[in-house]
């Protein structure tokens, strides 16, 4: 148990119900802030519980020279595809989750709607001469699918078709149409592969990044391609029974060097988003100083987790009873996090993917 949670003695911090709260529906952000860095910023001191209200463009006020921002540069695929079953013409929606190159160059793990009516052997046709053969169910209830473009299993042609016909996979609680797909990408996104945006980074602008660097607070990158667990609710009562699916991560030599140098000089490692935390802590678990890494992780961070690298965290406000809210509580203490969430609700903050931000220091 974290020291923060001494006041929660007797409460089962593994109970999913411990991370519940009520959010008025009108506080679910439907559109991104414009400009990006005009989002509100709630600053939570995890040692004292003190809360400060600010604006994201002023985040440098709460950081100091020598700190290092680490952000996930994964780029979102236009991963929602609309097609029809070749045999019946029935409408089918496929959500791309992750490539499975070990099963074939154009095999993907997907979520399919309506799943019960799409079975192995079914063919689905899309615009742009793209088609898909359903192979088999996945352990998570999705489908493995082999894509063909103009009858060829050419990965480049298939990726081009995704970009041509795919839609941004906005979460179901966002009902407004996104006029500019780039607003669901971070300004530093680079390596395509995520099924959802690492949303804590959506608040940064090139100008803000440059101003922070001039203040002595540079930004470096890791990569985690966001996968299935973003779309999957927790369906168990005990967090210890929840299975996290693995996601591809990369931490480069330059990023490892920058983090190691920051730590040696006494600076803070400031993670931009929960996906960055998962990447940093997964690699740190293999030993410090950090070494470069490319592979997969299924790390699941819950209260009691021994953070090795993350000194501060920039994050959005997360759904009730979610693995992300449990992670934030592991970092800052459940009582303090839920008190901060209540303060944000009282102040009318905007929540979830396109919502406002929180800095935990």
- The predicted-structure confidence for 76-93, as pLDDT tens digits, reads as follows 999 999 999 999 999 999
Tell whether the torsion through CA atoms of 309, 312, 318 and 321 is positive or negative.
Answer: positive
Structure tokens at 51: 């809360």
> How much is the average pLDDT of 321-341?
97
User: What pLDDT score does 4 carry?
Assistant: 54
Calculate the alpha carbon distances from 17 to 10, 239, 273, 323, 342 in Å.
Answer: 14, 10, 23, 11, 16
Q: How far is 313 from 72, CA to CA, in rounded Å?
A: 13
Q: What is the mean pLDDT of the chain?
A: 93
User: What pLDDT score does 209 carry?
Assistant: 98
pLDDT (tens digit per residue) in 136-160: 998 878 999 999 987 667 888 998 9
Does 338 have pLDDT greater than 70? yes
Q: Are strands 123-126 and 130-137 parallel, antiparallel or unpaired?
A: antiparallel
Exposed/middle/buried for residue 166 (C-beta within 10 Å: 0-12, 13-18, 19+): buried
Following CA atoms 54, 186, 294, 98 in sequence, which dihedral angle do they give, to the nearest 10 degrees? 120
Does 295 have pLDDT greater than 50? yes
Domains of the chain, CATH where assigned: 3-76+179-360 (3.40.1780.10), 80-165 (2.40.10.240)
Orientation angle between helical segments 274-284 and 323-332, nearest 10 degrees: 70
DSSP state, residue 28: B
Q: Are strands 269-272 and 312-316 parallel, antiparallel or unpaired?
A: parallel
Say if CB 193 and CB 75 are below 8 A apart.
yes
Say if CB 290 and CB 222 are below 8 A apart.
no
Task: Give percent of the chain above pLDDT 70.
Answer: 95
> How much is the average pLDDT of 300-315?
97
């Amino acid at each position: 148990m974290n020291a923060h949670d001494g006041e929660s003695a007797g409460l089962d911090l593994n109970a999913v119900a411990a991370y519940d709260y009520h959010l008025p529906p009108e506080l679910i952000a439907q559109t991104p802030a414009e400009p990006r860095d005009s989002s509100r910023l709630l600053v939570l001191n995890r040692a004292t519980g003190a809360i400060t209200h600010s604006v994201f463009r002023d985040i440098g006020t709460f950081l100091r020279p020598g700190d290092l921002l680490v952000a996930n540069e994964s780029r979102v695929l236009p991963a929602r595809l609309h097609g029809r079953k070749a045999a019946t013409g029935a409408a089918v929606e496929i959500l791309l989750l992750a490539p499975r190159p070990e099963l074939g160059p154009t095999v993907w793990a997907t979520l399919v709607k309506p799943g019960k009516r799409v079975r192995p052997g079914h063919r689905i046709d899309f615009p742009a001469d793209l088609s898909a053969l359903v192979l088999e169910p996945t352990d998570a209830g999705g489908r493995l699918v082999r894509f063909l473009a103009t009858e060829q299993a050419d990965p480049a042609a298939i990726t081009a078709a995704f970009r041509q016909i795919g839609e941004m996979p906005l979460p179901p609680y966002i009902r407004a149409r996104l006029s500019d797909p780039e607003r669901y990408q971070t300004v530093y996104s680079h390596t395509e592969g995520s099924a959802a945006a690492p949303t804590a980074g959506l608040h940064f602008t090139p100008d803000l990044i440059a101003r922070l660097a001039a203040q002595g607070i540079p930004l470096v990158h890791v990569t985690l391609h966001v996968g299935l667990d973003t779309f999957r609710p927790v369906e168990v009562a005990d967090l210890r029974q929840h299975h996290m699916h693995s996601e591809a991560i990369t931490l480069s030599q330059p990023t490892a060097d920058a983090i190691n140098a920051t730590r040696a000089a006494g600076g803070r490692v400031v993670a931009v988003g929960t996906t960055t935390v998962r990447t940093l802590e997964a690699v740190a678990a293999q030993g410090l100083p950090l070494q470069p890494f490319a592979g997969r992780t299924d790390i699941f961070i819950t209260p009691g987790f021994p953070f090795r690298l993350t000194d501060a965290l920039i994050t959005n406000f997360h759904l009730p009873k979610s693995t992300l809210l449990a992670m934030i509580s592991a970092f800052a203490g459940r009582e303090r996090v839920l008190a901060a969430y209540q303060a944000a609700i009282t102040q009318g903050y905007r929540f979830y993917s396109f919502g406002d931000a929180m800095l935990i220091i």
